[in-house]
Amino acid sequence: MDLNAPIAVKIRGICNHFGDQVIHDGVDLDVRNGEILGVVGGSGTGKSVLMRTIIGLQRPSAGEIEIFGEPMTDEENEAQLDLRRRWGVMFQGGALFSTLTVAENVQVPLREFYPNLGQKLLDEIAAYKVVMAGLPANAAAKYPSELSGGMRKRAGLARALALDPRLLFLDEPTAGLDPIAAAGFDELTKDLSKSLGLTVFLITHDLDTLHAICDRVAVLADHKVVAVGTIPELLATDHPWIQAYFNGPRGRAAQSAVDRHMAKGA
């Protein structure tokens, strides 16, 4: 990762409350252009809420967000529309429309932002994105109920890639997948990031994913981002949650797997 790369997402002083419940209280975070940033935290720390705030689905009570140097606002104008064209989102579980085929799901954002595209072009783009996401070509005509869990995740990724985004949001993309399918999805994410120059904001609790593909990790705790850095940098901090998470049995197992992989490649 280029530490001097421009900032793709700049978050300053974000506060989110649900009634008397404080979720975020002054969140600051920079996501650098071209990096895969993992976002972790315990249950209730607001990982998905933060993502929804960045993309404008959750209005914060305070704070500012810039994407590619442009401020996010509530205004409905061409500048804000152009910003929204620059990202793609894969929600938890894929969040596919059950009554639409995979191809039709992929076409949803295309129809929203480019309503004048013809059906032939829509079909061609959808077919390309389906294959790009690692699905067989015939998956385009299937309904979500006809797909395995891993295939539904990839269909959700295909839809997130529909607009050729520069910024990709992934919310728990490997949750519920077996280790082989999860590793395959991780590798696909890494390959897409490199080949397409994508910046990836990746919410996960999967330690294998964090070790395998994330350039840096941001930790949400105490209603803020308490640390951001590489895993070795995080391990050097004394925050109790970070130590319990990365130095626990599963964290040590994930690190051992990475060490073995690196040793084989040496």
The reported pLDDT for the residue numbered 94 is 73
The reported pLDDT for the residue numbered 4 is 75
105: confidence class by pLDDT, cuts 50, 70, 90 = very high
**What is the b/e burial string over 116-132, where b = at least 16 CB atoms within 10 angstroms of the residue's CB?**
eeeeeebeebbbbbbeb
Q: Is the pTM of this model over 0.85?
A: yes
Average pLDDT over every residue of 67-93: 88
Note the pLDDT tens digit of each residue in 17-75. 998 899 999 999 999 999 999 999 998 899 999 999 999 999 999 999 999 999 988 87
pLDDT digits over 119-144, tens only?
999 999 999 999 999 999 999 999 99
Higher pLDDT, 263 or 147: 147
Specify which residues 41 forms β-bridges with: 220
Look at the alpha carbons of 68, 74, 78, 84 in this order and tell me if their dihedral is positive or negative.
Answer: positive
